[in-house]
Amino acid sequence: MQIIEVNKDNVRILFDYWNEIGKNIPYFYNTTYQSFVSSLFDDTFEGMTIFQNNKVFISKEDDQVKGFIQYGIPTFHFTVAGKIAKDINIGVIRNLYYEGTRADIGKALLGLSLDFFERNNIKEIYAFYHAMGMSCNGNHGKLHEKFNYIGKLLYEEGFEIEHENIYYICDMAEKKLEYPNNSYIKVSELDDNRQKLILYDRDNNALGSAEIKYIDNLTESAEKDIIYLVWIGIDKKVKGKGMGTEFLNHIIQYCLAKGYRYLHADTALNNKTAQKFYIRNGFIDNGITRSYLTRRSI
């Protein structure tokens, strides 16, 4: 087994491996090589550089990649209240992948990161941080349940599950858009790949808001295929009156008119209300995703 540090000069070999491990993972979108490299080394989140210190290593055998890890020290963090904090001392294992039969590779790669964090006196370590995923993955950073053996390795090293979500996909072309014509939406630009949508009634009262993300802008793909529903919310005064579904139908109609086919979304595993909403509206469960956290004594 060879452990090799990866940079922009030798990253090409990792791209094929990335595409291989991403098969059947709903948020491993079809991305260009340029978008992959940019996401790996120069990634940003809402205009902020994600990592101030960024390490990437591969495990290689017989000239083939058998696993890889990305870890580092981020430039910001989210508080419990969801606010951005920059005076922080945390570490992030952004990616860790290897073959299920090769726990030795997983342990070797994970050991690199834990040694790094120990040398830098970092005690709080996040793995598969929910908001620090690759931009070419829509910033979806959690680990899919297909890789439960990686979660098991993290558990053996003292990590615990931090958050669990369910990932959903809706084939918008298959959805019937039947609803009373008593509301409308307005759309505003947030940045080059996101938009905010606000639901109004016929008296121009705001009833809800949502945000969507254009995946093709993040992956640089020529295919206009997927839009990600970042969130959707309805004013409590109209909850239970079908306005959530009406709002969603407006969003779907808007996305279809722009040439997109699939609407992706996710929600917390313990949010039963949201899960029922998505299933009722034609979304299909595409698996559980998880993030992890450990606080170590150094």
How far is Cα of residue 262 from the mean position of the Cα atoms in its chain? Answer: 16
The CATH number covering residue 266 comes to 3.40.630.30
Share of the chain above pLDDT 90, in %: 79
Considering the domain architecture, whether residues 159 and 226 belong to the same structural domain is answered as: no
Q: pLDDT digit string (tens) for 36-58? A: 999 999 998 878 899 999 999 99
292 pLDDT higher than 90: yes
Q: pLDDT digit string (tens) for 115-128? A: 999 999 999 999 99
Phi, psi angles (nearest 5°) of residue 28 = -90, 85
Give the separation between CA 49 and CA 86, rounded to whole angstroms.
11
Considering the domain architecture, whether residues 77 and 30 belong to the same structural domain is answered as: yes
Which of 24-28, 118-122, 130-134, 187-191 is predicted with the least confidence, judged by mean pLDDT?
187-191
Give the separation between CA 89 and CA 74, rounded to whole angstroms.
9
In this prediction, residue 192 has a pLDDT band, given cuts at 50, 70 and 90, of low
Between the two ends of the chain, the Cα-to-Cα distance in Å is 29
Considering the domain architecture, whether residues 186 and 92 belong to the same structural domain is answered as: no
Please spell the DSSP secondary structure of 167-218, one letter per residue.
EEEEEGGG------S-EEEEEEEEETTEEEEEEEETT--EEEEEEEEEHHHH
Considering the domain architecture, whether residues 48 and 115 belong to the same structural domain is answered as: yes
Q: E strand or H helix at 100, and its extent? A: none
Name the residue with tokens 């919310």: 233
Phi, psi angles (nearest 5°) of residue 160 = -125, 155
Cβ burial of 139 (10 Å; 0-12, 13-18, 19+) is buried
DSSP annotation of 76 reads -
Write out the residue range of the structural domain in which residue 215 sits: 171-287
pLDDT of 48 reads 86
Considering the domain architecture, whether residues 203 and 118 belong to the same structural domain is answered as: no
Question: Contact 11/37 with Cβ under 8 angstroms?
Answer: yes
In this prediction, residue 142 has a pLDDT band, given cuts at 50, 70 and 90, of very high
Considering the domain architecture, whether residues 234 and 248 belong to the same structural domain is answered as: yes
Q: What is the mean pLDDT of residues 219-240?
A: 88
Q: pLDDT digit string (tens) for 67-89? A: 999 999 999 988 777 788 887 88
Looking at the chain, how many residues does it have?
A: 298
Considering the domain architecture, whether residues 32 and 176 belong to the same structural domain is answered as: no
In this prediction, residue 180 has a pLDDT band, given cuts at 50, 70 and 90, of low
Q: Higher-confidence residue: 153 or 77?
A: 153
Question: Contact 212/26 with Cβ under 8 angstroms?
Answer: no
Considering the domain architecture, whether residues 128 and 248 belong to the same structural domain is answered as: no
Averaged pLDDT of the chain: 92
Please spell the DSSP secondary structure of 17-67, one letter per residue.
HHHHHTTT-TTS----HHHHHHHHHS-EETTEESEEEEEEEEEEETTEEEE
**Which residues does 268 contact at the CB level (< 8 Å), separation at least 6?**
163, 164, 165, 166, 274
From 202, 174, 192, 18, select the one nearest 95 (Cα to Cα): 18
Give the separation between CA 189 and CA 99, rounded to whole angstroms.
41
pLDDT of 223 reads 79
174 pLDDT higher than 70: yes
33-41 and 12-21 helices cross at what angle (nearest 10)? 100
Which of 82-86, 147-151, 199-203 is predicted with the least confidence, judged by mean pLDDT?
82-86
Considering the domain architecture, whether residues 26 and 130 belong to the same structural domain is answered as: yes
Quote the number of domains for the chain: 2
What are the beta bridge partners of residue 200?
184, 206
